[in-house]
Copies of this chain bind each other. A is one copy, B any other.
């Protein structure tokens, strides 16, 4: 299911990223079109999966999630079975906000958000008891300098 995305689509997506609670009229005005065409484009982009979840950004600190770790993982296991188990372990743990398989020396990087260092340790112990990993380095964030999910369209 592919879509050709033109200039108007890009403008619409850009507006939605910026503020998804805007009315169709507002978006239409911004992109120089009108309600119905904008509505049809959004529907198509949603069906094509270009537009995904509709969400709000919450203040992690205010909700008690005060610790953020980046976890660098090296493993000696590279079989499909191990990978599947590792993947499932990550999917199942809500503290894992991001996980990437890497090229090169380090095999995986995780971003883990937890309430405090103790909660990180609990996560770490649980993870290494579930899957074998060769080497783990945790980088502790002292300060989040920038955070955005916006793509520069």
User: What residues of chain A have their CB less than 8 Å away from a CB belonging to chain B?
Assistant: 2-3, 5, 13, 16-21, 48-60, 62-63, 65, 68, 70, 87, 90-91, 94-104, 106, 108-109, 113, 139-153
Check if A56 sits within 8 Å of B51, measured CB to CB: yes
As for how many copies of this chain the complex holds, the number is: 2
Check if B50 sits within 8 Å of A63, measured CB to CB: yes
Residues of the B chain whose Cβ atoms lie less than 8 Å from the Cβ of A57: 51-55, 149
Check if B51 sits within 8 Å of A100, measured CB to CB: no
Q: Which residue of B lies closest to A87 (CB)?
A: B145
Q: Which 7 A-B pairs have the closest CB atoms?
A: A94-B152, A100-B141, A52-B57, A99-B146, A99-B145, A21-B54, A101-B143
Check if A98 sits within 8 Å of B146, measured CB to CB: yes
Check if A143 sits within 8 Å of B100, measured CB to CB: yes
Check if A52 sits within 8 Å of B59, measured CB to CB: yes
Check if B60 sits within 8 Å of A151, measured CB to CB: yes
Residues of the B chain whose Cβ atoms lie less than 8 Å from the Cβ of A53: 19, 56-57
How far apart are the CA atoms of A51 and B19 in the complex, in Å?
Answer: 13
Residues of the B chain whose Cβ atoms lie less than 8 Å from the Cβ of A153: 63
Query: Can you name 5 extra interface pairs (CB under 8 A) apart from A20-B21, A49-B59, A97-B146?
Result: A17-B58, A58-B151, A65-B151, A97-B149, A98-B146
Check if A62 sits within 8 Å of B87, measured CB to CB: no
Most central of A62, A104, A106 by chain B CB within 10 Å = A62
Residues of the B chain whose Cβ atoms lie less than 8 Å from the Cβ of A5: 62-63
